[in-house]
Structure 1
């Protein structure tokens, strides 16, 4: 959420940054609401002062035996009390209306984010690894003989409908091994603290990270009001909700492996084949809470942590910086990592790493106490996939496929697979 004081001080700059995201000016509407709210608050405070003054005079009139003055003042107190209540209600309604409006306004991009309308204007800034030269035409993951019996879409459809999958046998174990490998790498090499969090959260948690109110249709809600998390960003970031941390306790770098749930609203007909886009999937998420001054360096660090997963697995990838029109709602700047999928002959997103500045912290009132003893300030938050487990499985299968239909697995996974090195007919050998 945005700082209303910053909008008051420089509305033209606020609107200029919104324009970079393709949005019309909002400062006139925001400032009109803010002015009405402040006027209502001032009027309520003035009426309250008048009520208090009249209340003090009531006793004095009674003591003097001035019955007429006593009755006049008592009536005035009652009148002011009703007036104060009405004005406080009006101020509260305007405050809520302003907050609701600010809750729907996206974060402002950093100055170095490239301008653009959509993903076609994203900018590639790095490549790692060379795509393998196959002596045969590579298949997509769901077409591979090594996995066809262990990647069951028909049973999943019977159980749950489309965009679900049942993994069996060796493929299920490789999927589990990937999550374990990612966690171990982040904890042992990158010094992230591991967490196990709930996957059901309250409205406040989804509001804090920006999934609500604007993107409710992208998530699932239970009949008793809980939300299924679309990512552990929601739970990990909300550790800061309502808290005041010590600056010397920052940065807090965390990771969690969870199931994630997304309705994929608006994606009908997109990536319907295989398990690339699912309603339920697993992800190892990274979240950092830090001071605003260190957020840019933390963004680079977090992105490198995600890249290390791909590099250790020997998977070619590229780093993309998203343009202003393609960034997520809460992001100031985002790097996407896209892994090479030979079956599709293209790079596909496998991680998105964003720095959000103080945007999320303002929504959840997450602050830190400066070491120099100053007043509490809002923290900065960052989040990123480290990685999406299912998409990583797809990349491992497609890049490791052999002409005989088997799959050669990355050496980094062998210790997690009991020393097995290949997938043949859905089994590890």
Structure 2
């Protein structure tokens, strides 16, 4: 969430920056400033009213002590009126604060200056490309056909049990899935991230804290009875570990990693591009999350990019990195890089990771602060990235490693799978 002082001091920068997202912020920004002026005025009146009431209350006591009961009773009536005024002012102040908060929730984060303007994924910029696209044998198949051929993923069974988008992994398919999770976690912990096992349902405050609410309300599964949400990503519970936390500067940076299933309604997703593992309602993902000093967050961002690169290099998968344009950058992010791997069998790029710097946007919602060297409380920066989302990585491995004899397993994964080929 953007800070009100930042909006007041940088009004044109906010409006111009959000225009990169094709978001017209002018009216909301003006309303935020006007409402904040009203809130400040109400606060001043309330403070003055309470101060006057306190002074008169002390004077009443002195009057009673000196036998001036009549004068004291007159002042009591005035204090009573002041208390009514203060209650009205307090209610008005609370209403203004709630309305201001609601407006701030409508404003996405201001993109970093290097983020290009654009409307959709077609305007994203490719900034890196590595790896050779393998030449497959004649008759090579997409992963959904391979899954059926080798009986490792059953999409029809998942459809019977839950519905489309809930595959069942079987035999070597399940073992490969488990191997990827363990491999990703080991890579992350070796890089200094602390592993967490996190809840798969979160409360409303957690969703607001990371920016899923109100922006993504229709895309999450919601249990209305307990008002809990199935997590769309481990980013939500993982980042909320630090909600309402005041850290010491010496505790920074903090890095955590965790594996969770993820749940997304993905309403309106149809067509060939969502076949098989390409888009699911339930999928597994390993996440990395960082809490950083503002001075170091973009260096940390670069480090996260290199970390994901190293994983893909070990898996020997061809990949590219895109810098997302303003129109394709997520609501709470200041900058996002997407990783995509090339699926030779599908002849298309598949997104497998997003790495984002949220700067202070999430921290302001979370009230995540640290005490700086001057002893003042300062908002931290939060970052997160997938390392990695499993479905499309698995699809890429099945498709790019297929041979006429079977599907070979990347060398880095063999110690985790216990087998070198699916045949």
Please give the TM-score of this superposition, normalised by the length of structure 1.
Answer: 0.94
In the alignment, does 2:415 pair up with 1:408? Answer: no
CA distance in structure 2 between the aligned counterparts of 1:46 and 1:146, rounded to whole angstroms: 75
Spell out, residue by residue over 1:87-119, the C-alpha distance to the aligned partner (whole angstroms, 9 max, x if none): 011101101111121122111111111111111
CA distance in structure 2 between the aligned counterparts of 1:415 and 1:393, rounded to whole angstroms: 17
**Residue of structure 2 in register with 1:387 after alignment:** 388
**Unpaired stretches in structure 2, ≥5 consecutive residues:** none
Spell out, residue by residue over 1:305-351, the C-alpha distance to the aligned partner (whole angstroms, 9 max, x if none): 11222111110000000001100011111100000111220111000
Spell out, residue by residue over 1:195-250, the C-alpha distance to the aligned partner (whole angstroms, 9 max, x if none): 11111212121111111122111111223122211111112212221111122221
CA distance in structure 2 between the aligned counterparts of 1:87 and 1:325, rounded to whole angstroms: 41
CA distance in structure 2 between the aligned counterparts of 1:167 and 1:345, rounded to whole angstroms: 24
Spell out, residue by residue over 1:21-48, the C-alpha distance to the aligned partner (whole angstroms, 9 max, x if none): 1111132111011111111111111221
Please give the TM-score of this superposition, normalised by the length of structure 2.
Answer: 0.95
**Residue of structure 1 in register with 2:165 after alignment:** 163
Deviation at 1:62, TM superposition (A): 3.5
**Unpaired stretches in structure 1, ≥5 consecutive residues:** 425-429
**Residue of structure 1 in register with 2:101 after alignment:** 99
**Partner secondary structure for residue 359 of structure 2:** coil
CA distance in structure 2 between the aligned counterparts of 1:285 and 1:47, rounded to whole angstroms: 51
**Residue of structure 1 in register with 2:199 after alignment:** 198
**Residue of structure 2 in register with 1:22 after alignment:** 22
Deviation at 1:125, TM superposition (A): 0.7
**Partner secondary structure for residue 326 of structure 2:** coil
CA distance in structure 1 between the aligned counterparts of 2:246 and 2:2, rounded to whole angstroms: 19
**Partner secondary structure for residue 356 of structure 1:** strand
**Residue of structure 2 in register with 1:287 after alignment:** 289
**Residue of structure 2 in register with 1:421 after alignment:** 420
CA distance in structure 2 between the aligned counterparts of 1:145 and 1:101, rounded to whole angstroms: 48
CA distance in structure 2 between the aligned counterparts of 1:74 and 1:249, rounded to whole angstroms: 53
Is the Cα–Cα contact under 8 Å of residues 136 and 402 in structure 2 kept in the other structure?
no
CA distance 1:56–1:300, change in 2 (3 Å): same
How many positions carry a matched residue from both structures? 420
Match of 1:128 among 121, 130, 136: 130
The root-mean-square deviation of aligned C-alpha atoms, in Å, is 1.6
- Does 212-221 or 316-325 show the bigger shift? 212-221
CA distance in structure 2 between the aligned counterparts of 1:145 and 1:175, rounded to whole angstroms: 13
Deviation at 1:66, TM superposition (A): 4.4
CA distance in structure 1 between the aligned counterparts of 2:147 and 2:138, rounded to whole angstroms: 14
CA distance in structure 2 between the aligned counterparts of 1:193 and 1:135, rounded to whole angstroms: 42
CA distance in structure 1 between the aligned counterparts of 2:50 and 2:172, rounded to whole angstroms: 72
**Partner secondary structure for residue 365 of structure 2:** helix
Is the Cα–Cα contact under 8 Å of residues 150 and 422 in structure 2 kept in the other structure?
no
